[in-house]
Amino acid sequence: MVQMAATNTLIQTMVPDRLRGRVMAVHIMMFMGMAPFGSFFAGAMAEKVGAPLAVSIGAIFCLAGAGLFLSRLPGLQLVSKTSTG
């Protein structure tokens, strides 16, 4: 839920007004459309290596993604400020 709220907030604040509807439509389509594939992949991995290890691997990737996002956040904020005027 936190990730969904953060992503929505970033998109709403960073995208120019004239493109916001289109970008949100693509975001929702990709987010909802990719969820079944992620669930399938997680289930297949859990079947091969076991659920605890699959959850641990997923957690590691989530933390790595959060770290990558955090390291690029100042640049994203800079782009947002320059594009809004």
pLDDT band at 22 (very low <50, low <70, confident <90, very high): very high
Picking from 42, 35, 41, the residue whose alpha carbon sits closest to that of residue 3 is 35
- Indicate the number of domains in the chain: 1
Distance from C-alpha of 52 to C-alpha of 45, rounded to nearest angstrom: 10
Domain that holds residue 46: 2-84
Sequence-ordered list of residues with C-beta below 8 angstroms from that of 23, at least 6 positions apart, any chain: 11, 15
Over residues 24-34, the pLDDT tens digits come to 999 988 888 88
Over residues 33-75, the pLDDT tens digits come to 888 898 999 999 999 999 999 999 999 998 999 898 888 877 7
